[in-house]
């Protein structure tokens, strides 16, 4: 049953109500309106409303904060938000003043955004990665992602819960759990898992607690929560967006990316975040390849003439997902695409190597992040973090820290084992992987089911993950977009479109055309299992 979104309505004369054309006028008349008008709002409709004077940024931000309080903190208690920005209303009021003076900052003007809580902001919100050791850690500067959002006019209203340390900590972990935030719930069926590690980012968007959110992915952490929460997630080419000021796992695989309810909103956000950051050498590779506006790729006929390869044996983990994929192939063909089966390289050729690389890069990156916090850092090394967790009453309550301990035993990035593993994984997924598949078959994109329906959350035994397709794009560092594919019972699942490095424009064309032809997205209803 859908939760109520209704505030107490003060009795007023109906004739007064009929003359109140804007939300501002209704408030002036003494009416506290419900906030269900925000459900499934798009950036385009929101900004048209600002232009027409239907509402102000302050009213929109206030309404979203009301939804967070009502749905996330009470009501179904989704627990997707770790902290609300105490200055959100001040920022909104400043934007309203700018608008009154004729100034609109950028494509995200007045758009409420939630950031995954491993992305630095220089404000009154800490950046914790969900770890209790960083509960009071306030970075000295905005990450480039946060800075670009503010420059584009967005209002960062909160930070979202996540799988602690982006789910690179221990064995048998449960996605969406952190020492700081506790367990995030799936908004479709509350005892189901939201996936991770960008759990709160996916849930907040799906439950309409924000317009868009920013997640991060190393392997599956944007596309899997998009799958489980019925939304769109773009995992960009590594280097398209800066990673500076993001608590890392892997220099070779990490990237932030937008999560939204529509391909259009995700594309608008993506363009606002691109650009070269001299502190992140990976972004230098994007010179001449990044765009500041991806909306020209939003073409309803974007599938016409496209050659798409479906990864053979990428399904098989769920008969019902397989049936939805068969329907998707029919839908793609109906929109003018040519579909053929292709076979990916053996995953063992690159997944084991990727894990080794992540262990080395996690130790190196995390130690550098702690160092960057300066004298205020609560720990200086991953070794000190491990010792802290042993004495903490929360951190090891459910899960161990075996991954942290393995990483701590690794050497530095000059290690021959590290270099060999890095070369092996990139060769298998790039030249002998995606590039080979696409070049030999003259393909525009590859497709696979994003994952299974959400499993039941289990803090005792951990995640019951049975299948997914994130690894090839994630380990290669190439782009992927997950879009709603349909529903299995009451649970959403997604389809992933992925391809060559820097191919975001063509992937957005394909994903948008598929989305517009199928319209599978449905808002969650916060169901409780009997």
Catalytic positions are 116, 197, 221
- d(CA 521, CA 517) in angstroms, rounded, equals 12
Among candidate residues 44, 36, 28, the one with its CA nearest the CA of residue 7: 36
DSSP code of residue 189: B
In 3D, which of 165, 142, 163, 166 has the Cα closest to residue 154? 142
Is residue 485 within 8 A of residue 449, CB to CB? The reply is: yes
Looking up tokens 């950036």 gives 43
Total number of residues shown for the chain = 530
Cβ neighbours of residue 318 under 8 Å, at least 6 residues apart?
449, 452, 453, 466, 467, 488
In 7-154, beta strands by DSSP E: 81-84, 112-116
Q: Give the end-to-end CA distance of the chain in Å, rounded to a whole number.
A: 12
CA distance 135 to 129: 9
CA distance 158 to 282: 28
**Residues 6 or more apart in contact with residue 323 via CB below 8 angstroms:** none
CB hemisphere CA count around 466 (13 angstroms): 14
**Euclidean distance between CA atoms 86 and 156, whole angstroms:** 10
| In contact, 294 and 285? CB cutoff 8 Å | no
Could you list the beta-strand ranges (E) of 422-504. 445-449, 480-488, 491-498
Say which residues have a Cβ less than 8 Å from residue 444's Cβ, sequence separation at least 6: 306, 307, 308, 438, 499, 506, 510
Q: At 307, list the tokens.
A: 């050659």
Task: Write the DSSP string, 327-343.
Answer: HHHHHHHHTT-EEEEE-
User: 445-449 and 338-342: which strand pairing?
Assistant: unpaired
Dihedral sign, Cα of residue 100, residue 106, residue 112, residue 118: negative
Pull the structure tokens for residue 68. Answer: 């967070």
Structure tokens at 387: 């010792």
DSSP state for residue 180 in the 8-state scheme: T
Q: Sort strands 445-449 and 491-498 into parallel, antiparallel or unpaired.
A: antiparallel
**In whole angstroms, how far apart are CA 286 and each of 14, 253, 267, 289, 518?**
58, 15, 17, 5, 32
């Amino acid at each position: 049953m859908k939760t109520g979104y209704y505030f107490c309505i003060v009795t007023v004369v109906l004739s007064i109500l009929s003359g109140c054309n804007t939300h501002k006028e209704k408030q002036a008349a003494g009416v506290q309106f419900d906030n269900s008008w925000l459900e499934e709002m798009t950036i385009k409709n929101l900004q048209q409303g600002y232009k027409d004077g239907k509402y102000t940024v302050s009213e929109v931000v206030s309404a979203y904060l009301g939804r967070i309080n009502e749905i996330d903190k009470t009501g179904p208690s989704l627990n997707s938000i770790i902290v609300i920005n105490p200055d959100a209303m001040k920022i909104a009021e400043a934007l309203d003043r700018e608008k009154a003076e004729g100034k609109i900052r950028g494509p995200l003007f007045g758009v409420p955004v939630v950031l995954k809580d491993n992305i630095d902001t220089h404000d009154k919100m800490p950046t914790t990665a969900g770890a209790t050791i960083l509960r009071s850690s306030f970075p000295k500067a905005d990450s480039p992602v946060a800075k670009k959002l503010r420059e584009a006019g967005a209002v960062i209203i909160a930070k979202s819960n996540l799988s602690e340390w982006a789910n690179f900590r221990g064995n048998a972990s449960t996605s969406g759990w952190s020492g700081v935030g506790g367990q995030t719930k799936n908004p479709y069926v509350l005892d189901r898992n939201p996936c991770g590690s960008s759990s709160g980012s996916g849930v907040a968007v799906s439950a309409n607690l924000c317009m868009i959110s920013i997640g991060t992915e190393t392997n599956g952490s944007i596309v899997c929560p998009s799958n489980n929460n019925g939304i769109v997630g773009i995992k960009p080419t590594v280097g398209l967006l800066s990673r500076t000021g993001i608590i890392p796992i892997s220099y070779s695989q990490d990237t932030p990316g937008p999560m939204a309810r529509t391909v259009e909103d995700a594309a608008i956000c993506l363009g606002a975040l691109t650009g070269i950051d001299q502190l992140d050498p990976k972004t230098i590779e994007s010179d001449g390849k990044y765009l500041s506006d991806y909306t020209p790729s939003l073409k309803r006929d974007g599938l016409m003439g496209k050659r798409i390869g479906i990864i053979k044996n990428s399904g098989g983990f769920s008969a019902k997902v397989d049936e939805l994929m068969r329907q998707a192939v029919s839908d793609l063909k109906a929109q003018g695409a040519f579909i053929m089966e292709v076979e990916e390289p053996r995953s063992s050729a690159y997944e084991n190597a990727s894990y080794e690389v992540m262990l080395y890069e996690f130790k190196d990156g995390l130690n550098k992040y702690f160092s960057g916090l300066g004298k205020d850092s609560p720990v200086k090394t991953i070794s000190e973090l491990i010792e802290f967790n042993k004495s903490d009453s929360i951190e090891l309550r459910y899960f161990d820290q075996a991954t942290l301990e393995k990483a701590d035993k690794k050497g530095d990035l000059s290690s021959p084992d590290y270099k060999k593993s890095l070369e092996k994984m990139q060769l298998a997924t790039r030249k002998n992987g995606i590039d080979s598949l696409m070049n030999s078959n003259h393909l525009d994109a590859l497709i696979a089911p994003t994952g299974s329906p959400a499993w039941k959350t289990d803090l005792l035994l951990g995640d019951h993950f049975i299948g997914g397709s994130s690894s090839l794009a994630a380990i290669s560092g190439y782009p992927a977009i997950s879009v709603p594919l349909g529903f299995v019972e009451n649970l959403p699942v997604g389809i992933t479109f992925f391809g060559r490095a820097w191919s975001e424009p063509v992937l957005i064309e394909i994903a948008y055309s598929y989305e517009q032809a199928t319209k599978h997205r449905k808002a969650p209803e916060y169901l409780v299992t009997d």
